[in-house]
């Protein structure tokens, strides 16, 4: 058995999770007070405006306190946990409680360590702004009569614990493994805010999963039913009194907070419009041959190639010819920075809102590799499991809005990038082919670009090259 050690209590604060995010919501605690944690072991799962993230602790030792209930929003820099750093024992000399072991007794609180103990090394791990070697951690004494705040539910060693009831009111958050099929904390919180009983809903997701759209539909239906009831009551009373119904107030209606994903999207798009002098050009292209080429490739028996992967391959080839569009503007230095590699973002619509995952080094990938990476990132986006690193660092964005059944759009540039290619739906249309009118598979392509990095000639050349590759895929072979 390890000997007792005079350790230090290190306070781990919520780190900067990347790209200007200033807060995160606690979704699930992964440890309890008294647990032994290793360096870089995840201790809490949080949800930012970008993604779900498991936050690893840079210290190893015994958890003596944790801060914030599940569902609480914490600002960056707020304390998450306090860890007594030692040799796996509490400061009182008894062995630290392992998860799932022991007789369920309350953990022994750690005494305040001596001030002369040198500061332990942090892991210097992966999250932005981790700062394990920055300001010295503040020492905390955990008092037996003041247990650390704990969340409603948690998970340790891969096991999910049922949530404790909070308040017992209608709309209380249900445990993840409970009878109500709800995963998203945003769905549970929305239901709580409107006193909606999730047990009365039928989910439209896989296996009856209740989605945010289901909650919003139920709220709209309840509001409409309430409005009809109020109208009947007003008609019965007001008509007898001969009084006119009051006009609607400007404050009437539903207010939706601009926070989370919606708030992050609003801020980014507003900044793009404010800072980037953008322009858009577009062209129709005959995609018949591209569709035939994809059919032939997928008939060979190998891994299936997606259409978006072929479009991405065309984009990277076009950017190699027109590198001005794979750049960013350094406004302080008044310089255009042309980037060496292509990190291709693609717009993905999820239940949480619009996100833009990034395919790293897309220029170095073939169609098969691009297909696999698009599939992986799309699945992670829908599950809310994209990491901050998978959502940042893009240099050019491909936006396939054709999946919404529309032909054209004027995309807003994903700041601080310099351009975005939009792709509409591919539909049969009359087209002059080889001098004769024929029905062909036609697509509209649009390019929005930052007019600071290039003029219309460069943008037009890029778009025309993309259209040529769509119409004649053999053109792409000449650039390989």
pLDDT digits (tens, 9 = 90+) for 219-274: 877 776 665 555 555 555 554 444 444 555 555 788 888 877 777 778 888 999 99
**pLDDT score recorded for residue 450:** 97
Q: Mean pLDDT over residues 372-393, rounded?
A: 90
**Pick from 260, 279, 269, 441: which is nearest to 353 by CA?**
260
Residues designated catalytic: 451
CATH number of 277-479: 3.30.559.10
Residue 221: exposure state from Cβ atoms within 10 A (0-12, 13-18, ≥19): exposed
CATH number of 163-237: 4.10.320.10
**pLDDT score recorded for residue 280:** 96
Q: Among all chains, which residue has been given the structure tokens 């219309």?
A: 456
How far, in Å, CA of 2 to CA of 184, rounded? 42
Q: How confident is the model at residue 196 (pLDDT cuts 50, 70, 90)?
A: confident
Instruction: Name the residue with higher pLDDT: 474 or 280.
Output: 280
Q: Give ∠ CA 352-274-24 in degrees, rounded to 5.
A: 35
Q: Are 374 and 308 in contact (CB under 8 A)?
A: yes
Pick the CATH number of 1-161 from 2.40.50.100, 1.20.1250.20, 3.20.20.70, 3.40.50.720: 2.40.50.100
Radius of gyration of the chain (CA): 28
Q: Is the backbone peptide bond immediately before 337 cis, with ω within 30 degrees of 0?
A: no
CA distances to 286, 292, 341, 439 from 436, rounded to whole Å, are 14, 20, 42, 10
**pLDDT score recorded for residue 250:** 55
pLDDT at residue 316 above 80? Answer: yes
pLDDT at residue 286 above 80? Answer: yes
How far, in Å, CA of 259 to CA of 257, rounded? 6
pLDDT at residue 467 above 90? Answer: yes
Domain spans in the chain, listed from the N-terminal domain onward: 1-161, 163-237, 277-479
**Pick from 282, 283, 310, 319: which is nearest to 396 by CA?**
319
Q: How confident is the model at residue 211 (pLDDT cuts 50, 70, 90)?
A: confident
């Amino acid at each position: 058995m390890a000997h007792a050690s005079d350790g230090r209590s290190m306070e781990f604060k919520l780190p900067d999770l990347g790209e200007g995010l200033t807060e995160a919501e606690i979704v699930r605690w992964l440890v309890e007070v008294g647990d032994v944690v290793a360096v870089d072991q995840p201790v809490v799962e949080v949800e930012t405006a970008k993604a779900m993230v498991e936050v690893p602790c840079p210290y190893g030792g015994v958890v003596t306190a944790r801060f914030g209930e599940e569902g609480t929003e914490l600002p960056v820099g707020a304390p998450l946990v306090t860890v007594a750093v030692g040799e796996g024992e509490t400061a009182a000399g008894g062995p630290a409680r392992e998860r799932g072991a022991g007789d369920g007794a309350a953990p022994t609180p750690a005494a305040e360590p001596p001030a002369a103990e040198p500061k332990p090394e942090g892991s210097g791990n992966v999250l932005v702004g981790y700062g394990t070697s920055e300001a010295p951690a503040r020492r905390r004494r955990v008092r037996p009569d003041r247990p650390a705040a704990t969340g409603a539910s948690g998970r340790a060693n891969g096991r999910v614990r049922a949530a404790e009831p909070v308040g017992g009111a209608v709309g209380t958050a249900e445990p993840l493994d409970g009878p109500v099929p709800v995963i998203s904390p945003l769905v549970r919180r929305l239901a709580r805010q409107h006193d909606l009983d999730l047990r009365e809903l039928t989910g439209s997701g896989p296996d009856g999963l209740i989605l945010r759209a289901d909650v919003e539909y139920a709220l709209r239906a309840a509001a409409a039913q309430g409005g009809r009831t109020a109208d009947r009551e007003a008609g019965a009373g007001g008509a007898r009194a001969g009084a006119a119904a009051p006009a609607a107030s400007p404050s009437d209606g539903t207010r939706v907070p601009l926070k989370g994903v919606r708030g992050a999207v609003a801020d980014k798009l507003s900044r793009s419009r404010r800072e980037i002098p953008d322009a858009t050009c577009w062209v129709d292209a005959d995609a018949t041959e591209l569709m035939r080429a994809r059919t032939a490739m997928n008939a060979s028996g190998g891994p299936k190639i997606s259409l978006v992967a072929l479009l991405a391959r065309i984009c990277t080839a076009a950017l190699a010819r027109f590198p001005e569009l794979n750049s960013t503007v350094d406004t302080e230095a008044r310089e255009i920075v042309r980037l060496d590699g292509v990190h291709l973002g693609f717009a993905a619509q999820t239940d949480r809102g619009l996100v833009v995952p990034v395919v790293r080094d897309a220029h170095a990938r073939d169609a098969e590799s691009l297909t696999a990476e698009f599939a992986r990132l799309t699945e992670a986006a829908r599950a809310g499991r994209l990491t901050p690193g998978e959502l940042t660092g893009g240099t050019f964005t491909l936006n396939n809005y054709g999946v919404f059944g529309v032909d054209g759009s004027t995309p807003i540039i994903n700041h601080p990038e310099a351009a975005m290619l939009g792709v509409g739906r591919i539909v049969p249309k009359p087209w002059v082919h080889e001098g004769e009118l024929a029905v062909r598979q036609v697509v509209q392509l649009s390019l929005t670009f930052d007019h600071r990095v290039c003029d219309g000639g460069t943008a037009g050349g890029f778009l025309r090259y993309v259209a040529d590759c769509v119409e004649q895929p053999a053109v792409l072979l000449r650039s390989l």
